[in-house]
Homo-oligomer: A and B are copies of this chain.
Amino acid sequence: MTVQQKGRQTREITPPPRIIATAAIGGYKEKKSPLAADFDYIYDDIRAGCASFEKAEHEMQMKAANFALSRAGLKPEDIDILLAGDLLNQITVSGFTARQLAIPYLGIFAACSTFTQGLGLGALLLGGNAAGRALIVSGSHGCTSEKQFRFPNEYGSQKPPHSQYTATAAGAAILAASGGEIAVTALTIGKVVDLGVSDPFAFGAAMAPAVADSIAVHLQEMQRSAQDYDLIVTGDLGKVGREIAWELLQRRGINYDFDRFVDCGCLLYGQDSNLNAGASGCGCVASVSMGYLYHLLQQGKLRRILLAASGALMSPIANQQHESIPGISHAIVLERIDG
């Protein structure tokens, strides 16, 4: 495999590393999602049988990792590098996953785009002969996120209509040089874009400019048109951020069918008006891309998609200190390769 630099942010890998196994794990809200059938396992219990929400989040990461490993017929010791991250302070849940799997571990963080950062970085490490097989894991839990970033759910506080709900979900993927027909063929590493949104409930709006920027840079550096993709998938912009990103792309002269400009947060929670603008969280793009979208690629219903997840690089402390919200979007190309 070789990595080719296409401009400053984009890299193409030939032959591309394959995603040889995936897993998508869901929680109590995912069960009611239109994508429920695409999850490998759904926990009925909000605590996933654990003593705390944080332990439940770890349990779900482990379930995703173990599903992917078992599907690939591999053991943890067959994996060279674990790339994992999550939303919790000091990404502790991922550290616990690394402890349990005992795989050489690189902790990563890009908020809700952590999973695409991991897939992209994994593809680069395989492409550069730094690893033979990489396991990428990420997830989130609605209750740990609300408690940490806003208020514990038990307080019953109201959220505005443009807010989103953190997915209680996890996703995993195993990358290898061969095996399986779905590949990571290229990626665009995001730059931080921050247009000054500081409302911590409006991170869809805060992230939209970064998403539009990464998509535009990607198309330019790959010398492709948006039409070269069956879908352009954003991570968790939600209903509000999706429309903003769409408008920003049009202003840059990038025209695309709005129906094919889909968002994992809208796909996962968008049909439930109680869940406001849709889903968010590391587990959202991880589970939707490694479940629903991966299945469509496997079935040949999609051939090539651009997955431009996004992250809001904020914390409650930063908000309290009147910082605006830096957005970032790491975009990867998932492609069906026959033969």
Contact = CB atoms under 8 A, between A and B. Distances in A.
Interface of A: 2-5, 8-9, 11, 51-52, 54-55, 80-81, 85, 87-92, 95-96, 98-99, 102-111, 117, 121, 124-125, 127-132, 148, 189-192, 194, 313-318, 321, 323, 326, 328
A192 B108 contact: no
A26 to B, nearest CB: 23
A192 B95 CA distance: 8
Given A87-B90, A92-B317, A106-B117, 19 more contacts: A2-B129, A3-B129, A5-B80, A54-B318, A55-B321, A90-B313, A90-B315, A95-B328, A96-B323, A99-B313, A104-B191, A105-B328, A106-B108, A106-B189, A108-B108, A109-B109, A121-B121, A124-B125, A124-B128
A8 B190 contact: no
A1 to B, nearest CB: 9
A163 to B, nearest CB: 18
B192 A99 contact: yes
A300 to B, nearest CB: 30
A121 B107 CA distance: 11
B105 A108 contact: no
A190 B121 CA distance: 17
Contacts of A96: 313, 318, 323, 326
A125 B102 CA distance: 23
A123 to B, nearest CB: 9
Contacts of A4: 129
The 5 tightest CB contacts between A and B, nearest first, are A128-B128, A95-B313, A104-B189, A107-B109, A99-B192
A88 B315 contact: yes
A66 to B, nearest CB: 17
B189 A81 contact: yes
Contact of A107 (B3, B8, B108): B108
B109 A117 contact: no
25 contacts: A3-B128, A3-B129, A4-B129, A5-B129, A5-B130, A5-B132, A8-B104, A51-B321, A52-B321, A85-B107, A89-B90, A92-B313, A95-B314, A95-B328, A96-B318, A98-B328, A99-B192, A103-B191, A104-B191, A105-B189, A105-B190, A108-B109, A121-B121, A124-B130, A128-B128
